[in-house]
Amino acid sequence: GDSVTQTEGLVTLTKGLPVMLNCTYQTTYSPFLFWYVQHLNEAPKLLLKSSTDNKRTEHQGFYATLHKSSSSFHLQKSSVQLSDSALYFCALRTGGYKVVFGSGTRLLVSP
Amino acid sequence: DPKIIQKPKYLVAVTGSEKILICEQYLGHNAMYWYRQSAKKPLEFMFSYSYQKLMDNQTASSRFQPQSSKKNHLDLQITALKPDDSATYFCASSQVRGDTQYFGPGTRLLVL
């Protein structure tokens, strides 16, 4: 069935370093992916969503590229800030327009 | 002004009791959802509604019953509460099913 895999449960980094949070998916339908971010004691909110194959989408310094060849939509940022510490969810829109969320990756940025 | 209202913000219940979690959205969206978040499961999809019709139900237990009295309302009734039901329950909505979802602030439920 349709699924999303986020391999890292926790990523810890020092501020200023680059980050990549992994997201791979499985679907038999045309994929449409989202990244949601949830800060502590807040609700999840959309960070960015996919465009066409191999096209990069960006928002607030984060970027991701949908690669259908590798079924991936990894989230990246060139220089993380303390305020980026949060829980990040990758989500897949499947056939029938159901959305499946990954298990989440917690990013902790230290000074 | 908040666009998605969830009431109450916090809720303490005793085992075996019944509670209703309220969700109202003022975004003009046609799809609404319920999610549960706990230490065990970071974000667990429960239900989705589209134009007031149940589309997806991922909740094994019949103790959880969504109720849609109006297009912009999707309440969640939970019966025979158990301590394991303790979690934060998020309501969300999207323009149409499968579109970007907007989450409410959540109801934090504690079952003693």
pLDDT digits (tens, 9 = 90+) for B98-111: 889 999 999 999 99
Residues of A in contact with B102 (CB under 8 A): 45-46
Give me the residues paired with residue A111 across strands. none
Contact of B43 with chain A, judged by CB distance below 8 Å, is answered with yes
b/e burial code for range B54-87 (CB count within 10 A of at least 16 → b): ebbeebeeeebebebeeebbbbbebeebeeebbb
pLDDT value at A89 more than 70: yes
CA distance linking residue B104 with residue A73, whole number of Å? 26
Q: Which residues of A touch B47 (CB under 8 A)?
A: none
- Name the nearest CA neighbour of A38 among B97, B5, B94, B42: B42
How many angstroms separate the CA atoms of A7 and B2, rounded?
A: 34
The verdict on whether omega for the bond into residue A31 sits within 30 degrees of 0, i.e. cis, is no
State which amino acid sits at residue A105: T
Q: B93, B100, B102: best mutation site toward chain A, by most A Cβ within 10 Å?
A: B100
By the CB < 8 Å criterion, does A97 face chain B? yes
The string of pLDDT tens digits covering residues B14-58 is 999 999 999 999 999 999 999 999 988 889 999 999 888 998 888
Angstrom distance (rounded) from CA A4 to CA A41: 24
The yes-or-no verdict on residue B60 having pLDDT over 80 is no
CA distance A28 to A42: 33
pLDDT (0 to 100) of residue A97: 73
CATH of segment(s) A3-110 = 2.60.40.10
> CB–CB of A98 and B103 under 8 A?
no
pLDDT by residue (tens digit) across A39-68?
Answer: 999 999 999 999 999 999 999 999 999 999
Task: Give the pLDDT confidence score for residue A61 in this predicted structure.
Answer: 97
The answer, for A32 touching chain B at a CB cutoff of 8 Å, is: yes
Read off the pLDDT band of B1 (50, 70, 90).
low
Across the interface, which of A34, A43, A104 has its CB nearest the CB of B42? Answer: A104
Query: Does any CB of chain A come closer than 8 Å to the CB of residue B90?
Result: yes
Return the percentage of chain A with pLDDT > 70, whole number: 99
Q: Which of A55, A71, A49 is nearest to A2 (CA)?
A: A71
- Whether A95 has a pLDDT exceeding 80, the answer reads no
Of the ranges A1-10, A59-68, B53-62, B65-74, which one carries the lowest mean pLDDT score?
B53-62
The pLDDT value given to residue A5: 97
- Shortest Cα distance, chain A CAs vs residue B69, angstroms: 22
Report which of residues A85 and B44 the model is more confident about: A85
Query: Within 13 Å, how many C-alpha atoms sit on residue B56's CB side?
Result: 20
Contact, A33 vs A50, CB < 8 A?
yes
Report the pLDDT averaged over residues A86-97. 88
Of the listed ranges A77-86, B51-60, B79-88, the least confidently predicted one is B51-60
Q: Are B78 and B19 in contact (CB under 8 A)?
A: yes
Ramachandran assignment for B105, one of left (phi > 0), alpha (psi -120 to 50 degrees), beta (any other):
alpha
